[in-house]
Amino acid sequence: MTLTEAPAVVPDADPEAAQAAIEHCYAQGWSDGLPLVPATRSLVDRFLATVDRRPDEVIGSLVHLNRTVTVELAAVNAAMAGCRPEYFPVVLAAWEAIQRDRSAQGGGWQSTSGPSPLLVVNGPVRAELGLNAAGGVFGPGFRPNATVARSIGLMVRNALGVVPHGFEQATQGLPGRWQVCLAENEEESPWEPLSVEGGVPAGTSAVSGMLTRTVEYVDNRHTADPEQLLADFADTISRSGAAIFRHHPAGIVFCPEHAQLLADAGMSKADVRAWLVERCGRSKADLARVGKDGVGDNGVRFADGGTDPEAFDRLFSGAGPEVLPIVVAGARNAGISMVVRVLSGWSASSVPVVGRTTPSTQAGAVQ
């Protein structure tokens, strides 16, 4: 099969026809609010040519909504999101990574919490596609970061049919929803990549994903003491507003400066986790003040009022990357990191990127 590559420049392209096509996509209800790239057969075929997958292969479903996602639909939505064809193997890996989050299989997309995927890319594909791992890593400004994340949102909206004010019941949603796809700054990280903790060998391109409720910064350019630094993280992680259940997960996207400070003090990722697991949480007195000191049989907190004020409720249910994933990303220009509010935990299972991620006509050809 020979593929027709669109020429890089179309001298007689009609901007008004393009505008009409964009408006058509809005009128169909397919857009997340921003313009979509009109996806034609020839464009989508270029996406499909980057992977050896059957277009009708089902890669996700919400049985109760009678909807399924196929490789073909993933390609259509990725094209509409503004991806280049060679991003498609990353989109498929990102989708699979998010499917491994148990919330995505349950009612996560319909949830009042309005969760957003946090996607993390590791390995050589970061450089091949020009994924940003450094300054401004949470975006915007970089096409692969922005459009890979957006693809997932369009797949949920269009292919799964979970649309705001319909099956999507987010109370407020959150800033950055469908917009966060980080490349890990492996070059300036003192630790093993997230994908290695997710079971993929170092040096192999992979995507990890989890549903999150928001991110909150920890700005600490004030101390060189690792314990003071970690205590600042423990305070943000432990805020009561995020406590719904007996335990809850969190994540950290460390900037290189904070990560290196901790590593220079001899701490591994596991050491950092252990330090935080030991200390994160709140006293029953604190929790009673906000009506969350009791814990029911189903693990949900409630206003008890009769609990021992001296008792301490630890926040984490374990000490592994499932409940506290750690990533390093961003510029090395300040001590500013992000605490991530992970919805229900990380699968601790990363997905290798399989396909042709180099942008050339040859690479797009099917054998």
Partner 1 sequence: MATLADILDPTGQTTPRIGGTAQAPRRTDLTGVRLGLLENTKHNAALLLDELAALLQSEHGASATVLRRTKTVFALPLPEEQLAELVRECDVVLTGVGDCGSCSASAVADGIALERAGVPAAVICSDAFTATASGMAEVQGAPDYAYLTTPHPVAILDPDAVRDRARQLLPRVVATVTAAGAQQEAAS
Task: Summarize as ranges the residues that interact with partner 1 (CB under 8 A).
Answer: 20-21, 24-25, 28, 30, 38-41, 44, 64-70, 72-73, 76-77, 80, 106-108, 110-112, 154, 158-159, 161, 165-170, 298, 300, 302
Whole-angstrom distance, CA of residue 176 vs CA of residue 179: 5
Q: Which is nearer to partner 1, 17 or 202 (CB)?
A: 17
Of 136 and 166, nearer to partner 1 (C-beta) is: 166
Rounded CA separation 304/21 (Å): 57
What is the distance of C-alpha 121 from the center of its chain? 9
CB of 238 to partner 1, least distance (A): 24
Nearest to 187 by CA among 324, 332, 326: 332
Contact assessment for residue 242 and residue 344, using Cβ atoms and an 8 Å cutoff: no
| Smaller CB separation from partner 1, 165 or 221 | 165
Q: One-letter amino acid identity for 127?
A: A
> Would you state the structure tokens that stand for residue 173, as one six-digit string?
């949603």
The 3-state DSSP class for residue 358 equals: coil
Question: CB of residue 162 vs partner 1: minimum separation in angstroms?
Answer: 9
Instruction: Indicate if the alpha-carbon torsion angle 16, 18, 24, 25 is positive or negative.
Output: negative
Q: Considering the complex, what minimum distance in angstroms separates the CB of residue 347 from partner 1?
A: 18
Judged by beta carbon, residue 109 or residue 138, the one nearer partner 1 is 109
Name every residue whose Cβ is closer than 8 Å to that of residue 92 and which is 6 or more positions away in sequence.
Answer: 51, 53, 59, 71, 74, 354, 355
The two structure tokens encoding residue 38:
């009109």
At its nearest, how many Å lie between partner 1 and the CB of residue 66? 5
Q: In the complex with partner 1, which residue's Cβ is closer, 222 or 289?
A: 289
Q: Which two tokens stand for residue 86?
A: 């060679």
State the alpha helices, DSSP H only, in the chain: 15-27, 41-48, 71-81, 88-99, 102-105, 125-129, 143-154, 194-197, 226-237, 256-264, 269-279, 284-289, 361-364
**Which of 85, 335 has the CB closer to partner 1?**
85
173/176 with CB nearer partner 1: 173
- Residue 300 CB, shortest distance to partner 1, in Å, is 7
- Rounded distance between C-alpha atoms, residue 45 and residue 5, angstroms: 10
Q: Which is nearer to partner 1, 269 or 292 (CB)?
A: 292
Minimum CB separation of residue 287 from partner 1 in Å reads 17
The residue length of the chain stands at 367
Around Cβ 79, how many Cβ atoms within 10 Å?
Answer: 27
User: Cα-Cα-Cα-Cα dihedral of 264, 266, 268, 270, to 10°?
Assistant: -140
Taking the complex as a whole, how short is the minimal distance between the CB of residue 65 and partner 1, in angstroms? 6
Closest separation in Å from C-beta 293 to partner 1:
15
